[in-house]
Structure 1
Amino acid sequence: IAKRIFTRQKNENGSLTLLVKGTNFQINVWKALLSTPSGLLCSYSQVARTIGNPSASRAVGTAIAVNPVAYLIPCHRVIRKVGIPGDYRWGGIRKKALIAWEAAILPTIPRDRTLSPDIS
Structure 2
Amino acid sequence: MAVAELNDRMDVHIGTRVPNPLLEEFGRIVSTGGTSRDLVTDSATLALEGFATTEGRARRISAEMIAHLQAAGRAGSLGGVPCYGVRVVALPANLPMPSVPTRYRFTATVTADLRRTT
Q: Is TM > 0.5 for Structure 1 vs Structure 2?
A: no
Give the TM interval when normalised to the shorter protein: under 0.3
Q: TM-score, normalised by structure 1?
A: 0.28
Q: Which has the higher helix share?
A: 1
Q: TM-score, normalised by structure 2?
A: 0.28
